[in-house]
Amino acid sequence: MQQLDPREFRNALGSFATGVTVITTAEQNSDGSRRPVALTANSFSSVSLDPALVLWSIDKSAGSFAVFNDCTAFAIHVLHDGQRELSQRCASSKGEKLRDGEWRYGELEVPLLDECKTLFECRVEHRYEGGDHIIMVGRVVNFERRDGGGKEPALLYYQGQYQQLDQSSAA
Ligand SMILES: Cc1cc2nc3c(=O)[nH]c(=O)nc-3n(C[C@H](O)[C@H](O)[C@H](O)COP(=O)(O)O)c2cc1C
């Protein structure tokens, strides 16, 4: 069988345009305290309407992998075009990802960003092996259209870059 060229494979996957999300959970410390954890992900996808299921996948080498692999709930935030800086911040393993004042704990005890286009609060329903990733399937227990950023369109990711949605041809 012919060996796939990893760079070409990555480029080929990049031809699938996606939105951008920030996914959050909380690390529970032994002393009872908790720490907000976040990462940028574009692997988000809908799975099922009834029951309401969504999925995303996490790289096993991510710094936050152990926390997400152990959590019971997470929140998915669909970003708008004005949130590129937040997306970059949560896509870096260095520095503080979430700033005080831009989030609060929700019903499932996971951090919810005040601003985003849409928010999905999920309990972990399944975890599946997916090669160098783990596929996380969440049951949506609450969602909110927040339309943060007013009329800002959703942030897009295509060919390894952020892209702006052209809504001029939208009906
Ligand atoms: C647009 C974009 C999409 C990404 N999608 C994913 C993803 O779906 N799953 C994943 O594990 N990492 C994804 N990443 C990479 C993580 O955000 C990045 O590795 C981050 O540093 C992980 O943080 P951590 O090391 O603190 O866990 C994406 C990055 C960007 C910029």
Closest C-alpha to 22, from 40, 7, 8, 34:
40
Q: What is the pLDDT of residues 18-55, one digit of tens each?
A: 999 999 999 999 999 999 999 999 999 999 999 999 99
Q: Is 72 left (phi over 0), alpha (psi -120 to 50) or beta?
A: alpha
CATH placement of domain 19-163: 2.30.110.10
CA 149/CA 65 separation, integer angstroms? 30
- Domain limits, the chain: 19-163
Work out which ligand 1 atom sits closest to the CA atom of 41: 5
Position 23 scores a pLDDT of 98
Distance of CA 106 from the midpoint of ligand 1 (Å)? 23
DSSP state of 83: G
Distance of CA 31 from the midpoint of ligand 1 (Å)? 29
The pTM (predicted TM-score) of the whole model is 0.96
**Amino acid making up residue 40:** T
Distance of CA 145 from the midpoint of ligand 1 (Å)? 24
Residues at CB less than 6 angstroms from ligand 1: 20, 39-43, 56-59, 62-64, 91-93, 157
**Contact yes or no for 141/122 (Cβ under 8 A):** yes
